[in-house]
Structure 1
C-alpha cells in the first residue's frame, strides 16, 4: 500500500525547486553524527516559505546528533477522517523525493501496546502535518547514506490521557523491538487574527506578532520544563490555539521515559515575518529533547 502526496506543490515545492529550497535551509549543515542523545523534536508544519527554515533547525540537530532507524512522526488530524488515534500500519509514503518505508513492526507494536490507538490509513489520506516533514527526512537520509523508516501517527484527540498512553506505548514498543527511534511532534503554535476568529488585540498592528510570541513562550516554557500538565493548563487558561499539543505532550512523555534531561528551543518565528499580514499570524518553534 502506498500513500501519495496530498500537498506537494502547495505546502512545499516539487522537482528541483524542492531540492534547492532544502539545500538553502541546510547550507550550514554539519557532519552526520553518532552521539544519539536526541530523543524527540518539535517542528512546524506550515508552508515551507513560512516555517521551513524553523523546521530545518530540528532536523539539522538530529542529523548532527545521528539519524535514528525510525522516525515516529505525530501530527494533528485537521481533516476529521479516520480513527482519532491513527497509526499508519505499513507500506510506503511517496513524496517528490521518492519513497520512504513505514516500519510495520513498530507501528503494530505501538497499536498493540496502546489502549487507545488503531491501525488506520484513512486519517492520513489528505493530512498535511506529517507529509511536510518527510522531504526533510529523505533529504538528510540520502546525505547520510542511511536507510530510515517512519511511523506516522495522526491525532484527533489531544489531552493528558492520550499523551501518557501513547508516549508509554512508543517507549515500550521501541524497547521491545530494540528500535533506535526519534519522536517528531508536528505542530504550529498560536493561530491569531480575524482569519482564526480572534478579535485583534487593542494594539498597533506591528505589536501583534510580539503579543503572539508572548503567548507562545508561556506554552514553550512548559514544554522546555517537561511539564505536560502545565502545558495543557496554560493552553486551556489562555485559550491558546496550538494545533498539535497531543504530539508535543507525547514527545515529552516519551523523552522522560527514554532518559532525556534537557530541552532546547532552537528557533522561533511567526508567519508575520514573511506575510506582513495581521489577519492571520501563526507562531512556529523548533525544539529538541536530549539525554
Structure 2
C-alpha cells in the first residue's frame, strides 16, 4: 500500500487552496527577481516560516533555480517537534502538498543509509514537521519532473552533520539540488537580531562552514537549521563547489511592523 505523507501545515503556513497557493507563490517570485543569473547551483538556503513572513526571502532562492533541470532534490531540515538521535529520511513513497504528490527517491535514500549508524529511513521527524513541507510547493512551481529525499536532523551535533555531508558528497551529481531549510535568530529585538544574523550571513558569504558551526556551538549566532546549512556547504566543499552568494536577508518585523521580537530569514545559493 502506497504511503504518502499528507500536508501538515497547509492552511497555516501557506494556502490550502491549490489556486490560491499557486497565485501566492507566483506573486512572491515576481517580486523577488535576481539581478544576475547563477549557474551550476548545487544548493540553496531558504527559510521555512509562514509564506507571509519569509516567502519573499525564500523566493529569491527559488528564482535562482527556476527553470533549471534537477532530477532529485534533497531537502534537509531541523526537527522542531521531536528530538531523536540521528538523521531521518522519510520511509514512505511521496510527500503531498495542495499542488500534488512528489515521489521519494528510494535509490538515493538507500545509498545514504547504507552502512550508516546514524542516517536511517523512518517516520521520525516527518509526522508534523513544517520545515521540509513548506519548501515543496516552491519546488513544484519552479521545477518539473523531480523526486525528493526529505531529511530531518534529529540532532545537529557536528558529528552527525559532517557524516551527512560526507554521505551526500558521494551521491550528488549535476542533476541534484540540495535545499537547506533554516530560519535565523528567534524573538530578539530587530537590532539584536541583525547583529546575530549578520554573523551567519558573513560565514555563508565567506564560505566558512566550519566557522559557522563553531559560532553556532558557542551560541554566538543562531539558526534553527544551522546543521542543514553546514551540511550543504560541507558537501559542496567536498565536491569542489566553493562559491556562495547571499541573495536576501530579512526578518518578520519587515512584515508585521513589530520590531521588539523578530525572526530572521536568509536565502543563498551555493555553486561553482
TM-score by length of 1: 0.85
How far off its partner does 1:20 sit?
Answer: 1.2
Consecutive aligned runs of 4 or more in structure 1 exceeding 6 Å deviation: none
Equivalenced residues, count: 266
> How do 1:261-272 and structure 2 match up within 5 A?
261-272=242-253
Match of 1:277, SS state, is: coil
CA deviation profile, 1:168-198 (whole Å, cap 9, x unmatched): 10121236xxx721111000001123xxxxx
Partner of residue 138, structure 1: 140
Task: Determine whether 1:162 maps to 2:160.
Answer: yes
Partner of residue 225, structure 1: 206
How far off its partner does 1:60 sit?
Answer: 0.8
The structure having more radius of gyration, on CA atoms, is 1
Measure the CA separation in 1 of the matches of 2:64 and 2:157. 28
Match of 1:250, SS state, is: helix
Partner of residue 112, structure 1: 114
How far off its partner does 1:73 sit?
Answer: 0.1
TM-score by length of 2: 0.91
How far off its partner does 1:111 sit?
Answer: 1.1
CA RMSD between the two structures: 2.1
Partner of residue 145, structure 2: 147
CA 1:58/1:278 → structure 2, altered by over 3 Å: closer, same or farther?
same
Match of 1:169, SS state, is: helix
Report the more deviating stretch, 90-99 or 78-87. Answer: 78-87
Is the contact between residue 75 and residue 154 of structure 1 (CA under 8 Å) also seen in structure 2?
yes
> How do 1:82-231 and structure 2 match up within 5 A?
84-112=86-114, 114-141=116-143, 146-174=144-172, 180-193=175-188, 208-231=189-212
Unaligned runs of 5+ in 1: 194-207
Is the contact between residue 5 and residue 95 of structure 1 (CA under 8 Å) also seen in structure 2?
yes
